Amino acid sequence: MSIAIRNAWIVTQNKNRDVLQGDILIEKDVIKSIGKVRSGADIEIEANEDVVVPGLINTHTHAAMALMKGIADDLPFSDFLSRVFSYDSRRTPKDIKSGAMLGCLEMIRSGTTTFVDLYYSEDIIADAVQSSGLRGVLCWAVLDPEHTTQTGLPLDNCRRFCESFKNVERIVPAVGLQGVYVCSTGTFTDARDYARENDLLLHFHLSETRKEVNDLKKREGSRPVEYLNGIGFLGSECLAAHAAWLTLNEVRVLGRCGTSISTCPVSNMKLATGGVAPIPEMLNAGVNVSIGTDGSTTNNSLDMFGEMKTLGLLQKSNRWDPSVLRAQQLLDFATIGGATAIGLESSIGSIEVGKKADITIMDGKAPNLNPLVRDNLVSNIIYSSSSQNVKTVICDGRITMRDWIVMTLEEESVVSSAVESARELMD
């Protein structure tokens, strides 16, 4: 099947960050040409100066927790954790599936085409990903056996999941580690060895809270980045979520190791865990930066457009410097930076010939995005847009939403199923 997108503003995110006016031809799952497409296609999309950007990449979330949105708001962090763990421990496979479906639906509507998930029961979440048409980098949660509610050993469960889904379309199995607070040195090194032997991503929470850092210092005598580097864990296959409580030395270590980070500004601000990720220092040290929303209990939203804007405003306000993190850099984090973080920069993250057809089309006639000219296009995407501007989404060459109508999921059914599960869980 072929798809032609005609007469669009194309924000390519290629090496030169070219912004073009023209057409895109997609054949099967690949971008075939960009510019003037003279031939016809099976599906014609008249963009009429709509804005086309690469599909957004959310590098840290817990999609199934969409079911628990709003259950633990406005609480101190310890009370928040107690309430979330209480609900989470009671969830059934049906609850996890309905939550994951709701999360996928929200991501389609907000222009995300690829997401990184850290959770248990990733086999259930994989079913939701396949139904939705999204691409999921699914990281089975690994932690010490005494801290888990999983049946069996978490690392064994992770191995079984990765083996079962290693050749499944749009599913990228990976290894997730909960964090230094529930993972021993042996758990970290065993997970590292398995991931490296099988060329898998290692995704984990890192220095999210001050307590996490201080507790590890008391136990191991070093801060989390220093500790993980000392046991030979950190490397280019690593993607660390949050990374808010870091020293400059730790930032430099991440840069030398080639470890990427997923910054989650809304989650950290909402939980009031303090600490602002030192993004400018990371960039100076060569750390690849991406953006995650975190889950729906800590953010309440999976909207990457909102996350990009919030990240920029937080950094500017914190540094008293409006020039910190330009609009182009923020878009980079959510596209090519995200692709690099998961090792897929050669196939997604930008609109280029030969890459996967992951594309988000925004309504170029929307009042909040206008006036649109080449010079303000990227700034308007970051500072003026919202997820409501997302009009059409294509992932892997398949249209998941067209003209605001979701094509891959029955929206009413997904929402009603989630509501039913949530009511049963909360009762």
The predicted pLDDT at position 394 comes to 98
Last residue of a domain, one of 341, 372, 392: 341
CATH number assigned to the domain comprising residue 152? 3.20.20.140
Strands 202-206 and 359-362, how do they pair? Answer: unpaired
Same-domain status, 119 and 170: yes
- Nearest Cα neighbor of 397 from 98, 28, 23, 18 is 28
Contacts of 301 by beta carbon, 8 Å cutoff, 6+ apart: 106, 266, 293
User: Residue 87's Cα: distance from chain center in Å?
Assistant: 24
110 shares its domain with 34: no
Tens-level pLDDT at each residue, the chain (427 residues)? 999 999 999 999 999 999 999 999 999 999 999 999 988 899 999 999 999 999 999 999 999 999 999 988 999 888 888 888 888 778 899 999 999 999 999 999 999 999 999 999 999 999 999 999 999 999 999 999 998 888 889 999 999 999 999 999 999 999 999 999 999 999 999 999 999 999 999 999 999 999 999 999 999 999 999 999 999 999 999 999 999 999 999 999 999 999 999 999 999 999 998 889 999 999 999 999 999 999 999 999 999 999 999 999 999 999 999 999 999 999 999 999 999 999 999 999 999 999 999 999 999 999 999 999 999 999 999 999 999 999 999 999 999 999 999 999 999 999 999 999 999 888 7
Do residue 192 and residue 334 come from a single domain? yes
Residue at 417 is within a domain: no
Quote the CA–CA distance of 222 and 233 in Å, as a whole number. 15
20 and 118 inside one domain = no
**Residue 85, pLDDT score:** 83
DSSP assignment of 323-345 equals TSS-HHHHHHHHTHHHHHHTT-T
Contact of 202 with 173, CB cutoff 8 Å? no
Opening angle at CA 303, ends 299 and 309, nearest 5: 90
> What is the predicted pLDDT for the residue at 163?
97
**Residues with Cβ < 8 Å from 250, sequence gap 6 or more?**
207, 223, 224, 225, 226
Clarify whether residues 335 and 353 are in a common domain. Answer: no
Nearest Cα to Cα of residue 26 among 396, 408, 402, 400 = 396
**149 and 238 belong to one structural domain:** yes
pLDDT at 270: 94
CATH number at residue 362: 2.30.40.10
Residues 15 and 71 in one domain: no
Residues 272 and 312 in one domain: yes
CA atoms within 13 A on the CB side of 77: 13
* Total domain count, the chain: 2
- pLDDT for position 63: 97
| pLDDT for the residue 76 | 86
Which structural domain range is residue 29 located in?
2-54+349-406
Question: Cα angle at 14 between 12 and 17, to 5 degrees?
Answer: 75
pLDDT, tens digit, 9 for 90 and up, residues 117-166: 999 999 999 999 999 999 999 999 999 999 888 888 999 999 999 999 99
Q: What is the pLDDT of residue 426?
A: 83
Q: What share of the chain is helix, strand, coil (3-state, %, to 5)?
A: 40, 25, 35
Q: Is residue 200 part of a domain?
A: yes
User: In which residue are the tokens 């067209």 written?
Assistant: 402
What token pair was written down for 162? 């990765």
Provide the pLDDT for residue 149: 83
136 and 101 in one domain? yes
Query: What is the structure's pLDDT at 407?
Result: 98
Q: Report helix, strand or coil for 147.
A: helix
| Lateral strand order in the sheet of 260-263 | 56-61, 112-119, 135-142, 171-177, 202-206, 238-242, 260-263, 289-291
426 domain residue, yes or no: no
